[in-house]
Structure 1
Amino acid sequence: MLKSLFNWKVLVNLVVAIGVFVGLVWLTFRWLEYHTNHGQEIPVPNVVNKSVHDAIKILDDTGLEYEVDSSKYDPKYRPFQVLQVYPSPGSRVKDGRTVRLRVNPRSWAPVAVPDVINKYSGLAFQRIDQVGLKVGDTIFEPSIQKDAILRVLYKGNTIKPGSLIPRFSTIDVVIGSGPMRNISIPNVVGLSVKEARAVIARSMFEVGLVDHEDGGKDESDIIYYQDPASGDVRDQGMQMDLWASKKTPAELSAKIEQLNSVYRMKVDTSLPPVQYQEVIPPHQEPNYEPAAPPVQRREVPKPEPVKTEATKPAASKPATSSADNKLKTSTTGSNSKPANNQPAEKPKAKKVIID
């Protein structure tokens, strides 16, 4: 067995196999070196603060690929200015390597306008703020949808929901201020149904019942009757009923009279004039009684004393009456003392002889 192993033919085959293996390995590395440009590196050029157009031209000249990222806007830098390069400038990369450029865009990234039409203004403002837009002017317009968003304006033009505008842009909104009161009803008699709908919509009323005489729904039929009548005053948002036909209103006079008897009934609300007669009592002269003259008090004369013969008493002073004493005390004052503190003597009885 050992002899067969060391046979020259076996040794030749082994040497050939080793040579073929080494050759394949060498060729493989050579191919990889050629394919990957092994040992050939290019420094990344410094294109920071250059415009994106100039940066792309420089990268093309050096044989490097590029990728532009302009998703974030920074108002401190110029539009289309290169802000950052990856790999960093000066790094050595192989030929064909992709270099990423972060570029400042022209303006903010566009955002879609949210659908806030016919939504309550408070909720609409929150939705607009969430997407990064700002509300500028609020314009109020008469509408039956009070406090609802009617339209969205951008730079004075109406835009639809979903339109793309730059982020942080300012938009104006039109808000309904509610229906107006006591608005005159427009006259749509003689117009087609289609034209009448447009007139009613401009006046901010609603189309109610539309009665076609032939039972169809042809919008070209002529309006020959309306309720309420033209000239009546109603609040905006009220419904208007229409009667339409292919005939002219003159040909439907009998039908119009019949409708007038139903919808134009004249109710006599007048009242007879009320006459107010004021009842005045007969004039009576006031009866003034003359005032009674003042009653004069008559003094009753004192009866004269009967003269009788009597013996005159001895000379004696007349007794002073109590009234005279009082008068004297009142004149002399309370501090004066009576001159005589003895009691007054009683007068003596007179002897009266009656014949």
Structure 2
Amino acid sequence: MLKSLFNWKVLLNLLVAIAVFVGLVWLTFRWLEYHTKHGQETPVPNVVNKSVYDAVKILEDAGLEYSVDSATYDPKYRAFQVLKMSPFAGSRVKDGRAIELRVNPRTWAPVAIPDVINKYSGLAFQRITQVGLKVGDTIFEPSIQKDAIIRVLFKGNAVKPGTLIPRFSTIDVVVGSGPMRNISIPNVVGLTVKEARGVIARSMFEVGLVEHEDGSKDESDIIYYQDPASGDVRDQGMQMDLWASKKTPAELSAKIEQLNSIYRMKVDTSLPPVRYEEVPNYQSAPEPVPVAPAPVQRTEPVKAEPKPATTKPATSTTENKPKTSASSNANTGSNNKTPATGATQQPAQKPKAKKVVVE
């Protein structure tokens, strides 16, 4: 087997195969060098802090490609100034390699106006500030939507939500100040429905019920009745009901009389108007009530009942009187131990006289 391995034919084939392999490898690397331009490198020039126009001209003269991208606006740098580049200045790149430039834009990136229409003004102002915009003038306009945003103005023109404007721009807002009072109702009888809608909108009212006499919805029908009537006063935003037909008002006189009986109230002015007077909102002090004097009770002397006659002489009454007086004086003296000069003695109660009848 070894003898056949070292045969000259086998060795020749082996050498040919090795030569072919080495040749293919050499050709492959040569092709890669040619395709990738190996060894052909160009130094990257420094274009940082230059304007984008000058940077592009320098890269084109050096045979380099470039791509420009905007960064976040920085007011410390000039507009269109190159802030960064990749690869860095001084690097060696092959011909045709794109150099990425990061450029400061001319102004802030645009932002969309938020949808704040018909929103409360306090919340709307917060939303506008959050997106990077500023609120300038606040214009108040009569509207039934009090304190709500009606329109947004940019440079004096109304703009819709979603419109792109530069960041940190100033916008004006129109805010509702509440409805107007006592506005005269316009006369739309004789106008078409389309014309009446415009007149009602300009008078700051709204169209309510529109009843067509033939049941259609033709905007060219003529208005023959309206409620409220023309000349009445209402607040802004009130609705006006309309009745329209292709017939003339003379042909619809019966219908008009029927509507008058429903919507027009007749006021009797023959009676004098009732006058009301304001009553002061305080309570007066109650007047003192006279008090009748209490009746004086008079005590009548008690009459002693007669007693049966006795046989004692009339002088007995006089004899008993001093005894009673003496006994009372004795009792008084026994109760008062202080000397008579130092205390006030109470007068002795006199006994009631007894009536004695002598026959």
Matches of 2:191 and 2:120, distance apart in 1: 36
Q: Retained in 2: the 8 A contact 1:133–1:171?
A: yes
In structure 2, list runs of 5 or more residues that go unmatched.
Answer: 275-359
Shift in Å, 1:57: 2.3
**1:82-114: per-residue Cα shift (whole Å, max 9, x none)?**
222222222211111121111111211111111
Q: Which amino acid aligns with 2:79?
A: P
Q: Which amino acid aligns with 1:114?
A: P
Shift in Å, 1:257: 2.4
Shift in Å, 1:35: 1.2
Matches of 2:191 and 2:56, distance apart in 1: 66
Match of 1:117 in 2: 117
- Over 3 Å counting, the alpha-carbon distance change for 1:12 and 1:58 in structure 2 is same
Secondary structure of 1:243 counterpart: strand
Secondary structure of 2:66 counterpart: strand
Matches of 1:143 and 1:19, distance apart in 2: 96
- Over 3 Å counting, the alpha-carbon distance change for 1:42 and 1:200 in structure 2 is same
The count of aligned residue pairs is: 274
User: Is residue 2:144 matched to residue 1:144?
Assistant: yes
Shift in Å, 1:239: 1.0
Q: Which amino acid aligns with 2:45?
A: P
- The 5 A counterparts of 1:137-216 are 137-216=137-216
- Over 3 Å counting, the alpha-carbon distance change for 1:124 and 1:221 in structure 2 is same
Matches of 1:16 and 1:206, distance apart in 2: 101
**1:194-231: per-residue Cα shift (whole Å, max 9, x none)?**
11112212222121111100111111111111100111
**1:138-187: per-residue Cα shift (whole Å, max 9, x none)?**
11111111111111111111111111111111111111111111111111
Aligned-residue sequence identity (percent) comes to 87
Shift in Å, 1:250: 3.9
- The 5 A counterparts of 1:311-322 are none
Match of 1:27 in 2: 27
- Over 3 Å counting, the alpha-carbon distance change for 1:32 and 1:270 in structure 2 is farther
Matches of 1:98 and 1:124, distance apart in 2: 46
Match of 1:227 in 2: 227
In structure 1, list runs of 5 or more residues that go unmatched.
Answer: 275-355
- Higher CA-based Rg: 1
Secondary structure of 2:54 counterpart: helix
Q: Retained in 2: the 8 A contact 1:71–1:109?
A: no
Shift in Å, 1:273: 7.6
Matches of 1:273 and 1:174, distance apart in 2: 45
**1:13-69: per-residue Cα shift (whole Å, max 9, x none)?**
000111111111111111111111111111112222322122222212222221212
When structure 1 is superposed on structure 2, of 206-215 and 81-90 the one drifting more is 81-90
Matches of 1:148 and 1:188, distance apart in 2: 30
Q: Retained in 2: the 8 A contact 1:200–1:207?
A: yes
Q: Which amino acid aligns with 2:133?
A: L
Shift in Å, 1:71: 3.5
Secondary structure of 1:143 counterpart: coil
Match of 1:237 in 2: 237
Match of 1:17 in 2: 17
When structure 1 is superposed on structure 2, of 219-228 and 56-65 the one drifting more is 56-65
- The 5 A counterparts of 1:59-98 are 59-98=59-98
Secondary structure of 1:249 counterpart: coil
- Over 3 Å counting, the alpha-carbon distance change for 1:59 and 1:241 in structure 2 is same
